[in-house]
Amino acid sequence: MSTSTNILIIKTSSLGDVIHTLPALTDAYTRHPQIRFDWVVEENFSEIPQWHQAVRRLIPVALRRWRKHPYQAWRSGEWQHFIQQLQQQNYDYIIDAQGLLKSAWLSRWAMGVRCGLDKYSARESWASWNYQHRYFIDKQQHAVERIRQLFAKVLNYSLEQLPLDYGIAANFQNLTRKSNTLIFLHGTTWRTKQLPESMWFELARQAISAGFEIRLPWGSGEEFDRAQRIATLSSQISLINKSNLRHLATELLQARAVVGVDTGLAHLAAALAIPSVTIYSSTSPQRTGTYHLKQTHVLTNFACSPCFRKKCRYPEDSAIFPPCYGSLSVRQIWQQIELLIENQDADKSLQQ
């Protein structure tokens, strides 16, 4: 590899997918310290790549917004500005780490050797026809490991003796963990992932009776309203002010543990090795779950779980909705939280 290697990463969204890409950068930077990455990422998630020392430049894209108003995006000059940013550099390699038609299409606007997953490995097989170099990566493994292997093949290095490292923890130093604080990640964009509000209330009661305080983040009006309703239970429950991802990361790092559904912030907590209990209903942790140390997964046990659908086929007037959560009790979730905390205490005792 040359003394200076310039790589363009195409990984636009979602928050969890962006976070899953970080360990591959750490691997590459460890093997080739001269390497530098530019990264095409959705504007709403552009904070995260900046935290990694191997990232030189961000190229924000707004496909989600532009799809709704394509003419406005063209007329405003946003699209043209994006292309100018993309073509400032002639890259040694362009790595599409997403494997979708939209990401493959974006890669064609950049200058360099386009690399990605082959038709047997990509999430959308037709995307592979856009690449000059294609690689087979077994789908039967976690997304983090798949991306690590893709980068290793493109850049020709071994993953042996390279520990899993998201490479962002150094941005958050000297934060004190509060022994009596839990953070509940109750918000998610998929209706089928949302834990019934009654179960959040019961979990909150369990936590308060055990002497914990609860912090609740929110990102939308619906999440704010839900957080406020949960907070009416006790003065020991408070809302986290709406802010950027860095602020949320510092809040997560100060918590004793995090409890949440399958959402982007759960993946951020995992990347920072924060002890977490994550609840899965319509999705599965096998390939895209939280992935790091101190992670506990709680799964529903229902006929159609995991369905991987954003909309449930059952009526919302069911006693419990989504109905798959009827197979899971608050007691089961709380027992996992208690076990996670007990393991933390045991680890501290061994270190002393």
Taking the CA atoms of 45, 46, 50 and 55 in sequence, report the sign of the dihedral they define.
positive
Q: Which of these, 6, 47, 97, 112, lies nearest to 250 by C-alpha position?
A: 47
Strands (E), the chain: 5-10, 35-42, 55-61, 90-96, 111-117, 133-135, 181-185, 213-216, 237-239, 257-261, 276-280, 295-299
Lowest mean pLDDT: which of 76-80, 241-245, 274-278, 345-349? 345-349
Question: What is the side-by-side strand order in the sheet with 213-216?
Answer: 237-239, 213-216, 181-185, 257-261, 276-280, 295-299
Q: What is the DSSP letter of 300?
A: -
Residue 349: pLDDT band (50, 70, 90) is low
pLDDT digits (tens, 9 = 90+) for 159-214: 999 999 999 999 998 787 778 999 999 999 999 999 999 999 999 999 999 999 99
DSSP letter for each residue of 315-335:
-TTSSSSSGGGGGS-HHHHHH
Rounded to a whole number of angstroms, the distance between the first and last alpha carbons of the chain is 45
Averaged pLDDT, 253-271: 97
Lowest mean pLDDT: which of 127-131, 180-184, 315-319? 315-319
pLDDT higher than threshold 90 for residue 346: no
Q: Which of these, 34, 19, 20, 32, lies nearest to 152 by C-alpha position?
A: 32
Predicted pLDDT of residue 72? 87
Averaged pLDDT, 246-264: 96
The answer to whether domain 5-169 and domain 175-351 are alike in fold is yes
How many helices and strands, by DSSP H and E, does the chain display? 13, 12
In the chain, % of residues over pLDDT 70: 97
The chain-wide mean pLDDT, for the chain, equals 94
pLDDT higher than threshold 70 for residue 350: no
Residue 310: pLDDT band (50, 70, 90) is very high
Tell me how crowded residue 100 is: count the other CB atoms within 10 A of its CB: 18
φ, ψ for residue 192 (rounded to 5)? -75, -10
- In sequence order, the β-bridge partners of residue 55 are 37
Task: Determine contact, residues 100/125, Cβ cutoff 8 Å.
Answer: no
Averaged pLDDT, 9-26: 97
CATH number belonging to the domain at 5-169, selected among 3.30.43.10, 3.40.50.2000, 2.60.40.3080, 3.90.420.10: 3.40.50.2000
Averaged pLDDT, 239-267: 96
Predicted pLDDT of residue 177? 79
pLDDT higher than threshold 90 for residue 319: no
Two tokens, residue 123 = 């999430």
| Alpha-carbon distances, residue 233 vs 123, 204, 221, 228 (angstroms) | 44, 8, 20, 9
pLDDT digits (tens, 9 = 90+) for 18-61: 999 999 999 999 999 999 999 999 999 999 999 999 999 999 99
Enter the pTM of the model.
Answer: 0.94
Domain boundaries, the chain: 5-169, 175-351
pLDDT digits (tens, 9 = 90+) for 135-153: 999 999 999 999 999 999 9
Phi-psi region of 236 (alpha: psi -120 to 50; beta: other; left: phi over 0): alpha
| Alpha-carbon distances, residue 324 vs 107, 191, 206, 259, 315 (angstroms) | 39, 12, 22, 18, 12
Strands (E), 102-241: 111-117, 133-135, 181-185, 213-216, 237-239
Q: Which of these, 91, 99, 85, 93, lies nearest to 40 by C-alpha position?
A: 85
Predicted pLDDT of residue 161? 95
Lowest mean pLDDT: which of 33-42, 229-238, 308-317, 330-339? 308-317
Q: Which burial class, exposed, middle or buried, applies to 20 when counting CB atoms under 10 A from its CB (0-12, 13-18, 19+)?
A: buried
CATH number belonging to the domain at 175-351, selected among 3.40.50.720, 3.40.50.2000, 1.10.10.60, 3.30.360.10: 3.40.50.2000
